[in-house]
Amino acid sequence: MTTTSTPTRPSAAAELIADFVSTGGRLTDRADLARFLRDHRLVTEGAIPITLADLDEAITLRDGIRAFLDASDTPDPEVLGRAQKVLDGLRVTVRLEPTEQAESPLAPAVVDEVRRGLARIAGAWAAVLATGEWCRMRR
C-alpha cells in the first residue's frame, strides 16, 4: 500500500517570511521598502517616512533570516548577529485575543510605522519558528 502525503498550504506567517526573504534586488531603496510594507499590509496607507537606517535594518533582518533558511551553507554568525540585533530592538506585545488575519499572536508595541512593519515581520518569524514551519522553508 502506497501512502502519499498531502502538501500543506504555508501559513500566512510563512508566506510573509518567504516574500520578505525573496525580495532580493527589489529591496534596494526606501521606496521599495515602503512598497513591500504596503503590499503586505504591514503599515497603514499614506506617507511613510523611511530613513536610510530603517532601510538598513530591513535589509539586515532579511539577510539574517535568508542566511538562516539557506540549508546549503552554514550561516555567517556575523550576519545572524546583526539580524538578531535588529530583532532585539523591535518592541512587540502578545495579543490577548489575536485576530484571524494576524500572522502571529505577537503585535507591534511601537508607534513608528516602519518599526511596526518590521515588528510584524518579527512576529511572523516567531510564529514560523514556534510551529517548526521554518524547516519546510529551508532552501
State how far the Cα of 131 lies from the Cα of 128, in Å rounded to an integer: 5
Task: Reply yes or no on whether the pLDDT at 103 is more than 80.
Answer: no
Question: What are the two backbone dihedrals, phi and then psi, of residue 94, each rounded to the nearest 5 degrees?
Answer: -95, 135
Task: Reply yes or no on whether the pLDDT at 80 is more than 80.
Answer: yes
Exposed/middle/buried for 49, CB within 10 Å: 0-12, 13-18, 19+? exposed
pLDDT-derived band at 128, boundaries 50, 70, 90? very high
For residue 12, the one-letter residue type is A
The string of DSSP codes covering 2-25 is: ---PPPPPPPHHHHHHHHHHT-GG
State how far the Cα of 30 lies from the Cα of 59, in Å rounded to an integer: 11
C-alpha cell at 77: 554568525
pLDDT at 130: 92
pTM of the model: 0.85
pLDDT-derived band at 54, boundaries 50, 70, 90? very high
Task: Reply yes or no on whether the pLDDT at 33 is more than 90.
Answer: yes
Is 30 or 47 the better-scoring residue by pLDDT? 30
